[in-house]
Amino acid sequence: MRVSKTFRKYRKQIWTGVALVFGVALLALLAWIFHLDRKITAQFEGRRWTLPAQVYAEPTELYVGLPLTADSLERELQRLGYRRTAEASDAGSYERRGSRITFVSRRFQFFDGLQESQEISIAANAQGIQDMTNASGEDVPIFRLDPLLIGSIFPIHGEDRVIVTPEEVPPLLPAALKVVEDRKFDTHHGVDLGAIMRAAFVNLRAGQIQQGGSTLTQQLVKSYFLDSRRTFGRKLEEAMMAVLLEIHFEKQDLMNAYINEIYLGQDGRRAVHGFGLASQFYFGKPAAELQLHEIALLVAIVRGPSYYDPRRHAERVRARRDMVLKLMAEHGVIESTDAQKAIKQPLGVVSSTTLAGGYYPAFLDLVRRTLRRDYREEDLTEAGLRIFSTLNPFAQNQAERALTQELDRLEKARKRKSNVPLEGVVVVTSPQNGEVIAIVGGRNASFEGFNRALDAKRSIGSLVKPVIYLAAVESGRFHAASIIEDGPVEVKLSNNRTWRPQNISEQYYGPVPLVRALAQSLNLATVRLGMEVGLPEVTREFQELGLPEAPPQLPSVLLGAVDVSPFEVAQLYNSLANGGFNAPLRAVRAVVDEQGKPLKAFGLEVTPVADPAAVYQLNRMLVHVMDHGTGRGARAYLPADLVVAGKSGTSSDYRDSWFAGFSGSHLAVVWIGHDDNSPTGLTGSSGSLAVWARVMKALGTTSWNAPAPETLEETWIEFLSGLEAKPGCGEDIIAVPLPKGTELPFAPGCEVGVFDNIGERAREWWRGITR
């Protein structure tokens, strides 16, 4: 009775307190909802994602006369994700009948304009493309295939995506997602209460969250707005935000956002988000070209990208893919017969990420460094720029393969096993335009970390010798047949010590011509030559040819005590391959914005840095390196008639193995060594040379065939002595270009008589009077 009287006495105050608590709670709830609403509208309207810059490889240009066989063209189309069909009708498809291939190209926005989808028919034989026509039968002079997407410059958090519009999404994709993930998507308002109740029952019995009842909208909220914690509070926030999203946005808009947002895999530190990038990552093709069995596979991955990784758990993901196909048939999305046909299809996942829109870390690192000079980091990672690069995927793949195969072979062949694995670098360029077409930054080319190609500063050994010989020839006091003594050398150093270098053979060869000293990489002859030319002149030559700064004027520089990166070596030798003209190495051709508007073109810059006649003489000596010297082992790999020039390099204690050389169309630099700088036991000839030769052979490169300057004339000499001779006199007679008027002593018994060249003189006389 007393409680009742007390309650009646304070009833008003109690109800007032309850109302106050309820009101405060209601206000707090409304404030929380208002906060979530503002968060949603602020982040989800306008630009919803930071768009990493997309980097494209060099496009393949097709034209009549291109030495591309039908088989090679088909491989190129397959690499780009084109599918073979009985009749090419859709973009990204091709048909083949014998030596004729007909394909329908993809619509693509190049840096110089939009190229619409076209039907192109090409006939090719063993010599190359014979004719190329369009759908109307008209001749097509030149056609560019859409380039391969090789990667993105994504932000530090690692999210990468390729945005697709609703028009670019196959209709079966949203239908499959609804069937598998959210069958009431079209009717619910953000949450599915029935699914939530079922999940709540399971979770209450377990005492923890084991099952979710999330709709597609809730999954979108979780991925876009929230972290991965699985708590009841977070689930409540997720549900409320899903309801708010449904209030503000249309179903189609939410579905497209889900398709672009959801996490679908991992590629190193790059997180693959959205079906646009996943299509490239797993199948090497745009999302618009996905087939039924491919759509089902991607939908299967949604449930657990790591658990259902098709490259690691093929059988597991295949079972789930087939379940997706059966569900689609059961709910009338597809016919049962189509489901059965799709179930019989293989997974179709490309074997490596490199062939599927994966990225090349070493090359992309160079691209990023190039662009940082003109663009802010946030522009590169958020503004949706499109970067057209110089990378040639075929050259890149061949360089990776050659390095991996040779490193494996070398490690198996080494008598004394090392706990430190061999590492390597390959840089490939096109000398005439300075374009970098391939960079392999390490044995594991897909590893993103220390970029040895750009940052590993190592002693280059005998790779310095061509620079010394060029400085000697440019001085006007030396030529290929000049004699230099290969004997003991003593150089007084500033610290009152004496430097006494040695040949690698620890032998002396006496008087030798420059061409032999360079070909056989004779240290003593080279040191004597460098000291006669002068250290200031030699070190200045390095900088003129392309090094960022001249090395110190120390005698040890003459034998390679210069620490430079493989990329810097490529720049140095590129000036030699280019006839004495420096073309700064570049990895980017052009940049366009998100709408396709050109922002910047990286044109060719050429600067004369050395006397062309002197460079020609040096390059001819480097050809003899390949035929008579330390590079002759390359002949086991290369075509017999291929003319190439190059030089090996070995640092002290056999720590670094180098080879740098060029043909008429390619230059390649190879380095092999240990990351801890320990000895490898390899010379440039026994290590890097084989990688270099394998790369050159695979590229199908052309011969070096530079025109001789008019100030030079061919002279036949003995390779060993440098004495003038005539063809056929002796065993080692070679032709070298010398300045006109140069007189040499003749080799005994090889003097040129007055009538020796009468036949040639008569032909010259006859050609002269009949012109």
- Active site residues per annotation: 181, 462
Q: Three-state SS for 96?
A: strand
Return the residue matching tokens 């619910």.
188
Amino acid code (one letter) for 245: L
Between CA 595 and CA 605, with CA 601 as vertex, the angle to 5 degrees is 175
* Cα–Cα separations (whole angstroms), residue 139 to 133, 134, 218, 559: 4, 7, 54, 57
Distance between start and end Cα atoms, the chain: 138
Whole-angstrom Cα distance, residue 440 to residue 610? 29
Which element (helix H / strand E) includes 323?
helix 314-330
Whole-angstrom Cα distance, residue 273 to residue 262? 6
Is residue 265 left, alpha or beta, with left meaning phi > 0 and alpha meaning psi from -120 to 50? left
**CA 98 from centre of chain:** 33
Between CA 670 and CA 676, with CA 672 as vertex, the angle to 5 degrees is 140
* Cα–Cα separations (whole angstroms), residue 533 to 92, 346, 471, 501: 61, 67, 7, 18
Q: How many CB atoms lie within 10 A of CB 140?
A: 16
Residues 586, 435: contact at Cβ < 8 Å? yes
Which element (helix H / strand E) includes 128?
strand 128-134
Residues 492, 498: contact at Cβ < 8 Å? yes
Helix axes 216-224, 172-181, angle to 10 degrees: 100
* Cα–Cα separations (whole angstroms), residue 327 to 181, 275, 331, 341: 11, 20, 6, 14
Return the residue matching tokens 């008019």.
710
